[in-house]
Amino acid sequence: MKSEDLEGVEARGPFNPFSFTIPSFTTMFAFFLVGVVAQSMWVEKEQGSFRRLMAAPIHRGAIIAGKMIAYMGVVCLQVLVFFTVGNVVFDMPLGNSPLGLVLLALALALAATGLGMLVAALARSSRQADNLGTVLGFILAAAGGCIGYPLFRLGGLIGVISRVTPHAHALMGFMSLFDGASVGAILPQVGILASMGIVFFVIAMWRFKFD
């Protein structure tokens, strides 16, 4: 790693591996659902379910939103399980802002499920949707700093690339909360994740062919 990439690391404070490991796995598993979400949309399309839904007076946006809400519940349940186990078994501190954790978990769920819908809209089959979602999940996890070290803490091009991913902003928020930050401190990360999820949803609603 080049020295200029390490510029500014110390200025961002000491790296606490304990407050990084469980949030990183939580974030990765949330986005591993991207392939599952995308594939499920295509399976229903291939089985003709969407054609029947479109015959009813239901807006296509409501159909996609309903699917997203269901999978958002799965992501939130994952976050609850991971953080509960981390706190009870490994005595991991959860910070002082339960509201911050809830908002960040919801924003993470929105971004992950929205990306899954976008992959479904861009794919051409259920198998392609699953494969594309899985590959994308690993690439974003690596670029977002979920594997080994939070790359968004670095300077230079590596840090910039990392901060483009939703993974980086989820990790920033969780690590800040675990270090005692207030809900106000993580609102930028909540806003970025929610905005990503909304953009993914809008593009998916525009591109997805229900017939």
Domain count, the chain: 1
State the chain's mean pLDDT as an integer: 85
Tokens linked to 3? 């020295």
Q: Does residue 9 form part of some domain?
A: no
Q: Does residue 91 form part of some domain?
A: yes
Q: Does residue 10 form part of some domain?
A: no
Q: Does residue 6 form part of some domain?
A: no
Candidate from 36-45, 54-63, 109-118 with smallest mean pLDDT? 54-63
Tokens linked to 134? 């899985």
Specify the pTM: 0.86
Is the separation of the CB atoms in 152 and 159 below 8 Å?
A: yes
Q: Write out pLDDT tens, residues 103-155.
A: 999 999 999 999 999 998 888 888 898 899 999 999 999 999 888 778 888 88
Q: Does residue 11 form part of some domain?
A: no
Q: Does residue 3 form part of some domain?
A: no
Q: Does residue 132 form part of some domain?
A: yes
Closest CA to 37 of 122, 163, 145, 143: 122
Q: Does residue 98 form part of some domain?
A: yes
100: domain range? 16-207
Tokens linked to 145? 């700093």
